[in-house]
Every structure is written in C-alpha cells, then in structure tokens.
C-alpha cells in the first residue's frame, strides 16, 4: 500500500460499569484509533493502551504523541508501497511503544486484507488447518465489593452463555471470592483468576490455597519483571501459572517457557507490538504443545474483531477474553459483537469478510471522537 494520509483520533466509550483490577479502575474507555488512507485503499486499527499508565507504561495520550511525533512521520516518509510486515524494521530504532506500533500494523493488515479479499483470521493462520469459524466466548470480571456480588455477576454471565469465567483477585480478596465463583458456576465450567502482579513470592502459601478450586490457571500472580520468582512459584503450587504482562516479546516468551516461569501463555498482540509476531507465538506454543489464549484490553469493536481473528488461530487452545460488546459498552464505533449462547456453550463468529471484517459506523465515530488529526505526505 502507498499511504497518502493517516487519520489519528481519540474516541471515548462510556462503560456499562467501572472495570476494577489491581492496577486501577477504568470508567470511560478512551482509545486511539488510526486510519491509513491510500489512493484506492484504507485500513483501520486500534491502539490498546489504557487511559492511564497503570497497566503498562503506555497510555492513551502518550500513545497518541508517539504516533504523532515518531511513528507516523516515519511511515509517511517511506517511498513507494509498504506492507504490514515491513514495520518491524521501519520502527526498529524507536524503543518501546509496542501498542502504538501494533495499531499501525493492524491498520495495514486491514487494508491488505481488503485489497486481497482475505480475512485477518486467514492472514494470521495461513497454514492448515487454518482458522476456526467460531471461537468460544470468555468473560473477565473485575474486582467486586463482596463474594456475594461476584456470585451474582457470574450467574448473569453464565446465563448469557459464557463458558469460561476469569475473575480478578488481589491479596485479601482471593480465596473467598474464588470459592464464591466456583460455587456459582459448579465444578466443571472453566474458571481462572488474574492477579495483575499483585502478589509476591512471600504470598505463595496464599496462592497455594487456590489449588482446591480446579482453576485453569492463575494469571500473572507476581511482578511482570520477575521471571525467576514465577518459576519458583510454579514449583510451589499445583495450579498452572500463566504469564501476561511479563511476556513482552516472542523471545521473552520462549525464555519464560524454557525456565518454567509459566506453562500457559496469554497472547496479546498489542503487547508484542505486532499481530504477526503474536501469531508466531501461537505457532511456537502449538509446536510445543503449550496451552495459549488471546487476551483483551477492554477493546472497542476494531480491537475486539482483531482479537477474535487471532483467537481463531489453532494455537489458541484455551478460551480467551472474547466477550460481546455489550459486556463493557453501550455504544461503539462498529456494529455490536454478540455471543451465541445456545446450549450454554457461548461462541462468537469469526469475521469472514476481508480485512478486519467489521464496518465502521460513521455517525457513531463522529459522536464518540474527542480529537482528530490528519497527517498527509
């Protein structure tokens, strides 16, 4: 694609209810949206950075600035055509900002898919058996005030058809909450917990208390930069350890697996800085027989559709953070993504149209946009 212009905007989506985790609370989901424009092509991408730098160092306003001052000028300065796969080398001298980089790559992948008449799911899983046509629906539930509130919330989500429940935990908000969750869903439904790095190795006894609940895994129990302690924790507890925030690149992911710091991988393309690299991580996990799943970032419709496409990869063996739009938002810039909850086995259809496979709603985009800047050659 030869890019003639790039639109950069910030949108604001009010949330159905505040989402609370150990790293903070999100009440309004602001997000950076990019649009690459060519003579006959266009593509859209979403930057996953959260409103504040509490989950990672990236945040909405910082990502906008990185795109505006560093990444977009490099992209517009290129001669001739450029492909999504070229961005790694083009941005190699820009340290960090993986979520901002991934948003531009996603926009180019969308444009390339539209031109080729190929879905993003097929681009990310090009080899047999190829991508799935549906993915199981999984929901993440934030920290709530009491175990009783959590049980009520979970019962509602199970009724909607979600077959995997993930709950946030934190010190002193763990065992009784997990017990309430397990009692609410019964012994067989998939249940996992996410600590967002809220514990230390000194809490291993408390984390071992989770073993009785038959969890699929405990996600990111310790600090993101502490692979050694994660490996030690994995030896002390029976519940499998999954890493999320720690896995900042395919190389780090391979190291974490090799040293036993985790036995389950959460794949987040924006954290890797590349949807193509994320697909390569799923290829690697599949080759090793390692369970992996696709994580979300309170994404709007664009990022949600991309996550669904990635979750259709055969290497995504566990249910990911693949929820309906209505779980988080009352309004969006795309048509709502819905769960088919028939037979209690909730699924979401993988977009099969070219590119991201979702259509932007112009009126909603205009209504929800807080800031818009256009860059031209």
User: What is the number of other CB atoms lying within 10 angstroms of the CB of residue 316?
Assistant: 27
Tokens of 320: 């990911």
Provide CB contacts within 8 A for 175, sequence distance 6+: 206, 209, 210
Whether 101 is catalytic is: no
DSSP structure string for 330-342: S--SBPPP--B-G
**Closest to 314 measured CA to CA, from 296, 336, 342, 290:** 290
Instruction: Check: CB of residue 106 under 8 Å from CB of residue 73.
Output: no
| β-bridge partners, 135 | 348
70-81 b/e with 16+ CB inside 10 Å = b? Answer: bbbeebbeeeee
**Residue that has been written with the tokens 């959460």 in this structure:** 266
**Residue that has been written with the tokens 């949600």 in this structure:** 304
Under DSSP, the state recorded for 96 is S
* Backbone phi and psi for residue 355, each to the nearest 5 degrees, phi listed first: 65, -140
Q: Choosing from 29, 97, 168, 230, which is the catalytic residue?
A: 168
Q: Choosing from 97, 164, 268, 327, which is the catalytic residue?
A: 268
Q: Which residues are catalytically annotated? A: 168, 268
């Amino acid at each position: 694609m030869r890019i003639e212009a790039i639109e950069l905007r910030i949108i604001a989506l009010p949330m159905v209810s505040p989402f609370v985790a150990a790293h903070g609370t999100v009440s309004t989901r602001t997000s950076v949206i990019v649009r690459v424009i060519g003579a006959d092509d266009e593509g859209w991408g979403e930057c996953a950075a959260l409103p504040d730098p509490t989950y990672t160092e990236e945040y909405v306003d910082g990502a906008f600035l990185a795109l505006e001052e560093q990444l977009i000028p490099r992209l517009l300065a290129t001669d001739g055509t450029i492909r999504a796969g070229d961005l790694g080398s083009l941005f190699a001298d820009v340290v960090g900002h993986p979520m901002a980089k991934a948003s531009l790559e996603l926009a180019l992948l969308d444009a390339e898919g539209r031109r080729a008449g190929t879905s993003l799911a097929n681009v990310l899983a090009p080899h047999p058996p190829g991508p799935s046509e549906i993915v199981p629906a999984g929901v993440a539930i934030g920290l709530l005030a009491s175990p009783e509130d959590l049980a009520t919330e979970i019962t509602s989500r199970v009724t909607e058809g979600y077959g995997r429940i993930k709950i946030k935990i934190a010190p002193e908000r763990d065992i009784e909450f997990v017990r309430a969750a397990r009692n609410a869903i019964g012994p067989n439904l998939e249940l996992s917990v996410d600590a967002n790095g809220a514990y230390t190795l000194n809490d291993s006894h408390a984390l071992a208390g989770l073993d009785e609940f038959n969890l699929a895994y405990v996600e990111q129990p310790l600090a993101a930069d502490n692979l050694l302690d994660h490996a030690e924790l994995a030896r002390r507890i029976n519940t499998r350890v999954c890493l999320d925030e720690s896995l900042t690149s395919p190389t780090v992911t391979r190291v974490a697996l090799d040293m036993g710091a985790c036995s389950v991988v959460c794949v987040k393309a924006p954290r890797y800085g590349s949807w193509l690299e994320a697909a390569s991580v799923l290829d690697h996990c599949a080759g090793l027989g390692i369970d992996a799943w696709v994580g979300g970032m309170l994404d709007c419709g664009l990022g949600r559709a991309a996550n669904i496409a990635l979750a259709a990869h055969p290497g995504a063996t566990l249910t990911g953070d693949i929820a309906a739009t209505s779980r988080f938002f009352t309004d969006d810039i795309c048509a709502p993504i819905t769960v088919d909850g028939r037979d209690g086995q909730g699924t979401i259809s993988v977009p099969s149209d070219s590119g991201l496979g979702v259509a932007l709603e112009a009126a909603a985009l205009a209504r929800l946009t807080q800031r818009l800047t256009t860059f031209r050659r």
